[in-house]
Chain A
Amino acid sequence: MKIVMAVIKPFKLEEVRDALTSLGVHGLTVTEVKGYGRQKGHTEIYRGAEYAVSFLPKIKIEVAVAADVAPQVVDAVASAARTGQIGDGKIFVSPIERALRIRTGETDRDAL
């Protein structure tokens, strides 16, 4: 089992979700985050005070999948989230030790 964590541009969320659904992945967790990589921020000016705001709003998606489908999931997310402009984001894959569905008690693959 793997957890695929992707930080993407917020407006790409629906496209990524559609791509995951068509792969048979039916659950995901979404968080609103801030961050930057190579993308520059912007300047905000309030009366005399200028603030360089380097943190940009992003969306973090986390989805747990079986190890054999993880590469396909990564490719699907990447092509759905890609715009070609700086700031598209990154995807990380980590191993999962254990999984449990709380309602039924199913574990591991059956919980995904």
Chain B
Amino acid sequence: MISRKLLATAVGGLGVVLLLADPASAQTPTVQAAAPAPNKGDTAWMLVSTALVLMMSVPGLALFYGGLVRTKNMLSVLSQVFAIVCLAGLLWVFFGYSLAFTGGGELNAFVGGLSKTFLRGVTPESTVATFSNGVVIPEYVYICFQMTFAMITPALIVGAFAERMKFSALMLFITLWVTLIYLPIAHMVWYWAGPDAIADAARAVAAATDDAARTVAQAKLDDVTADAGLIYRWGALDFAGGTVVHINAGIAGLVGCLLIGKRVGYGRDLLAPHSLTMTMIGASLLWVGWFGFNAGSNLEANGTTALAMINTFVATMAAALAWLFVEWAAKGKPSLLGMLSGAVSGLVAVTPASGFAGPMGSIVLGLVAGAVCFVFVSSVKNAFHYDDSLDVFGIHCIGGIIGALATGILVNPALGGVGVPDYATKPGELTVAAYAFGPAVWAQAKAVLLTLAWSGIGSAILYKVVDLVVGLRVTVEEEREGLDLADHGERAYSY
């Protein structure tokens, strides 16, 4: 008994020493009390979530997209997704994690710093904050978990210009895009000082004995609260990445497909999916993996995690059926592709709301997302004649926008939501701030607009640069032959 207490104190003390040894890490709290140690259940869950999100990319997204293209391009889709996963992961551990999740000094509103490039200073004992006071998880798990997000986001984009983008151009574009578009948005939306840093500063204010001390303590609390990305400071809520992942990739996809142009034979030739069987396998893996994506974004295993799980169930089911029935009524037949697309649009929409909305609110969200995304993918796309091959804009961008805005509505406790989190009023405890519809939805809208602008304009510039350096598109002959042979010298199928 005595030795276990000693061990706990030693570990806690070691944690304190390690935390204090890295002054640039604003993620971990400056301590009064002994630093908390990770809970094995939380850690185990986060390890599993990380693997689930990787599975979403490979093979989930790879097969989902792959089945939707023609036989001659299947291997190219698989290769592009797999390569992006590996590339983004390396960028992440070299400098991505640091630029997203550390303090950025003067530029902290937009991007982090270089204090953790090459994961300097991170050890198996390092921990990071969660959304609960006094709860931490090992930093390596957090690095890996966030890495899988940095992998899948760029991989989503390839659907927009499938069947015509050069592999070399894609590799160059993704390197630039992850660095200049993804990392800043991830930092702006998700970087903050953590609940314990806020609690400590708030406690200091409460404990201040006179006005002078209170002013100093309040300034410190203001600093800690302001030590966050710009969009976070606006009060925008994004539980698992509606803005960071879906709107971001979605608008980048739209811009890409507009700049690269339509596929040869678009509107004339048969460009139908070659294997909806593969697409169904991919969509199913995406759904299962999405529990890691949404529920894992709680960074620990508790009731909110379970809330994110149930939201990820119900919104998906509602959206799948919404699309199915709308399409049945509009086009005459209920299609599998429609159902799968609806499910994915529901998953996308519930992503930012998953830890904030109540289940019934998520069902409504799913119904809306399924129906609206259907309209975008059929009517709007055809009206504007753009060749977003795999509907990255119609599903991810539009679904993400619906979800992001809805988060500001559904977080309202009156609608079953959990309420806007407040870590300062009762330091050490998570309480619920007063909900106001206008400010809440406006904060979400600002987040959406900034993401659209940053990613839309930024991606356009990057596409142009890559086009000048390497050329974005394969030749017409290569496109007719198929990217499998043209870019990779291989066939997906040998019959």
**Per-residue CB proximity of A55-73 to B under 8 Å, as 1/0?**
0000000000000000000
Tell me whether A53 is interfacial, beta carbon within 8 Å: yes
Contact yes or no, A46 B273, CB < 8 A: yes
Tell me whether B333 is interfacial, beta carbon within 8 Å: yes
Contact yes or no, A48 B335, CB < 8 A: no
Query: Nearest A residue to B327 by beta-carbon distance?
Result: A45
Query: Nearest B residue to A45 by beta-carbon distance?
Result: B331
Counting chain B CB atoms within 10 Å of each CB, the highest count among A47, A48, A49 belongs to A47
Tell me whether B175 is interfacial, beta carbon within 8 Å: no
Contact yes or no, A51 B337, CB < 8 A: no
Contacts of B215 in A (CB 8 A): none
Within 8 A of A (CB), among B333-366: 333, 335, 337-338, 341
Knowing A51-B270, A51-B272, A53-B270 touch, does A46 contact B337 (C-beta < 8 A)? yes
Within 8 A of A (CB), among B252-272: 270-272
Contacts of A45 in B (CB 8 A): 331, 333, 335
Interface residues on B, range: 10 to 19
**Complex Cα–Cα for A51 and B273 (A):** 11
Contact yes or no, A47 B270, CB < 8 A: no
Within 8 A of B (CB), among A29-49: 44-49
A32 to chain B, nearest CB (A): 12
A43 to chain B, nearest CB (A): 9
Show 26 A/B contacts (Cβ-Cβ < 8 Å), sorted by A: A44-B272, A45-B331, A45-B333, A45-B335, A46-B68, A46-B272, A46-B273, A46-B335, A46-B337, A47-B337, A47-B338, A47-B341, A47-B377, A47-B378, A47-B391, A48-B377, A48-B378, A48-B379, A48-B381, A48-B382, A49-B271, A49-B272, A51-B270, A51-B271, A51-B272, A53-B270
Pick the 9 closest A-B CB pairs, nearest first.
A48-B378, A47-B377, A48-B381, A48-B382, A48-B377, A51-B270, A45-B331, A46-B272, A51-B272
Given contacts A45-B333, A46-B272, A48-B382, 16 further A-B contacts (CB under 8 A): A44-B272, A45-B335, A46-B68, A46-B335, A46-B337, A47-B341, A47-B377, A47-B378, A47-B391, A48-B377, A48-B378, A48-B379, A49-B272, A51-B270, A51-B271, A53-B270
Chain A contact residues, CB within 8 Å of chain B? 44-49, 51, 53
